[in-house]
Amino acid sequence: MNLLARSARARAASPALTRDAFDLMCLSAAIVLVAHVPHLSPWLSGGLALMLAWRWWQRRQRSGGAPAWLKLPILALLVLAVTASNANPLGQQAGASFAIGLLVMKLLESETTRDARVAMGFACFTLMTALLFDQGLLATVFIALGLLPTLATLRALEPAQLRTSLPRTLLPALSLLAAALPLALFAFVLVPRLNGPLWGTPSSHASVTGLSDSMSPSEFGELLLDDSPALRVAFDDAPPPNNQRYFRAYVLWDYDGRRWSSPDPGDEAAAPVEVAATTSYRVSLEPSRQRALPALDLPIEAPAHAQLLADHQLLADRPVNDPLEYRVRSALRYHLQPSLSADARQRALRLPGGFNPRTQALATQWRQRYGSDDGAIAQAALSLFHDGGFRYTLAPAELGREAMDDFLFTTHEGFCEQYASAFTVLMRAAGIPSRVVTGYQGGYWNTLGNYLLVRQSDAHAWSEIWLAGRGWVRIDPTAAVRPERISLGAYAAAEDQQTWYRSDWLESMRNHWDIVNRWWNEGVIGFDTMSQRGLLTPFGIHDLDGTALGALLVVGSALFAALGLAWAMARRDKIDPALAWMRVLEHKLDRHGVTRRPGEGPQHYLSRAARALPARRDALKALSESYLECRYAHAEPSPESVRAFRRLVRDFKVRGVVK
């Protein structure tokens, strides 16, 4: 009880919040909310925004916090909302959502400077938690600039602050951020990296890229509209032509009538491959929450901490939760698995019973017509797609239980998933071993950065069929319907999409901006323990261990402290700006016979000047009050009060003297 009583007395003794300070608090909370909107549920974001707007409006109508009886129901609703919108109530997203809600609730009771300081300290922490979800360049810059209103709020809580415009209010905070930048860079470079995550609770394992080890028609739709980068590829030699830029991610063998899936990886060695031409390259992969490592078809070697499966998928030892770089060597011309085992053949021919009877009948007709010529059957399927009135679209009609029958004989429209799935089912029904492969196709060659940019919208699905004497052969049925998909990409090749998105200037701007993002990912996000230890390699030190890092950190911190102390002492030795303008005023008055006497205080001096210059009595009174505020209201004069005194001195004119 004593602690509560002391807290209540401290709250009562704290000065009340001004209107400007409260407006800055609301702006700070709004920026925190905006920074977290991408990973908050829409209705939770909307509810918190409405509550913040209501509190801002209510405070402008009258002082006083929200009613006490309202806070407990709001807290209960917040807990229910966070629990309902997050699968893991103890994860990062749930914790951040709850923290934002508490920040907005704190504004419901903030009426004193003590409340405001507590709220703004918590706002800084909550704003920083947005970096747990997005560490990109734009997000980082937004969060850094989002600190400006918070710093401006804390400054507005200081006594004797003058009202000014919002840009002038934010300018001192911007100066503080600029001054802190060298120290932040120093800490970024030398503070030892942690081996584990900073946030101890495991994060969600939902897919980021959208590619997974299963596929059903129409699941790629949203992914093909996602323009975010998936991977960047730097080749040791000239890049392959666009029609060879197939990046293998998953090989799907099993089909249940609706969904294709990949079996559990076994210990079987990679299938034999006869290589005619190879290329080597480096891949920078964005986080995917998956283990698959996309590689140019066909990878023949596994990078470190990964394995090459029997069907030549690359699988990492653990999910890719952070940006990852790896080197790969792939075959561009090859014969994959010239002989097929009985078990593999059986798995590559398996179809569920009781599905798609019309598709089965069509494949049987082709087998009867072409006999044992598997290549002719595959060509018949491609001719059907090319000449049968099929259309490439990212918004196809829904398919029913007999999905392949509906697609082949009714809707005649779809994108890569539908075409690859239908072609593979047709081949299996005709007795030709086949499987679906998903990954990426195409990409944009960035000449400035000398790398291939592959976006999520380049996600693609194609087929592989096994032909005697040739092994597994890649067949892309989508190219038979819409060849522009291979040259232009999924979104641009769709006939029913907006033409403005295909504009050259927009594509050029997006792809050139990616150079900056690549630098940020490699130089900042990718700055790990190995990069830190190699900092002094150009100076002949090849391994900077923890002891050396600690020594550099101590020496550097001492150097920064010394520079700060020297700057503070040099600033103290400079003439006070308010005193300098007082000298200007004394010079003006001295020219008209009002000279300051030795030891005379400023208040007495200006009062005497007012008696000597009755026509300027009001102006001299304002000058006296302004100067006393600059010199004695607080330890350091605020820039606003100095500017106000300077303006009064400049405007002061002497029109007459009383002798």
Encode pLDDT of 153-182 as tens digits.
888 887 656 667 778 788 888 888 888 888
- The residue from 36, 374, 460, 630 that is catalytic is 460
Structure confidence by residue, pLDDT tens digits, 317-369: 999 888 889 999 999 989 999 888 898 899 999 999 889 999 999 999 999 99
Q: Is 592 a catalytic residue?
A: no
* Cα–Cα distance, 387 to 548 (Å, whole number): 70
One domain for residues 558 and 605 = no
One domain for residues 615 and 568 = no
Say if 355 falls within a structural domain: yes
State which amino acid sits at residue 421.
Answer: S
Say if 196 falls within a structural domain: no
* Cα–Cα distance, 381 to 532 (Å, whole number): 55
Say if 184 falls within a structural domain: no
Q: Where residue 560 falls among pLDDT bands split at 50, 70, 90?
A: confident
pLDDT the model gives residue 434: 96
Q: Is 460 a catalytic residue?
A: yes
One domain for residues 543 and 581 = no
One domain for residues 295 and 332 = yes
One domain for residues 298 and 231 = yes
| Residue position matching structure tokens 């120093």 | 186
One domain for residues 545 and 615 = no
Q: Is 416 a catalytic residue?
A: yes
One domain for residues 262 and 287 = yes
Domain boundary (112, 139, 157) is at 157
One domain for residues 411 and 445 = yes
CA proximity to 231, closest of 209, 202, 264: 209
One domain for residues 565 and 581 = no
Say if 366 falls within a structural domain: yes
- The residue from 416, 458, 514, 630 that is catalytic is 416
Domain boundary (124, 157, 190) is at 157
Structure confidence by residue, pLDDT tens digits, 423-448: 999 999 999 999 999 999 988 888 87
* Cα–Cα distance, 327 to 277 (Å, whole number): 17
Structure confidence by residue, pLDDT tens digits, 175-227: 888 888 888 888 887 777 665 444 444 444 334 445 778 887 666 656 666 77
Which range among 112-121, 137-146, 171-180, 628-637 shows the weakest confidence by mean pLDDT?
628-637
One domain for residues 560 and 583 = no
Structural domain that includes position 608: 577-651
Strands in 468-520 per DSSP E: 471-475
Structure confidence by residue, pLDDT tens digits, 80-122: 888 887 777 777 888 888 899 899 899 888 888 888 899 999 9
Say if 352 falls within a structural domain: yes
In degrees, rounded to 5, the angle at the alpha carbon of residue 450 between the alpha carbons of residues 449 and 454 is: 85
| Residue position matching structure tokens 């909302």 | 81
* Cα–Cα distance, 30 to 171 (Å, whole number): 19
Q: Where are the alpha helices (DSSP H) in 356-415?
A: 357-370, 374-387, 403-406
- The residue from 297, 311, 476, 514 that is catalytic is 476
pLDDT the model gives residue 399: 86
Say if 461 falls within a structural domain: yes
pLDDT the model gives residue 201: 41
One domain for residues 389 and 275 = yes
One domain for residues 101 and 122 = yes
| Mean pLDDT to the nearest integer, 405-421 | 91
Say if 243 falls within a structural domain: yes
Number of domains into which the chain is organized: 4
Say if 166 falls within a structural domain: no
**φ and ψ at residue 249, rounded to 5 degrees:** -120, -60
pLDDT the model gives residue 200: 41
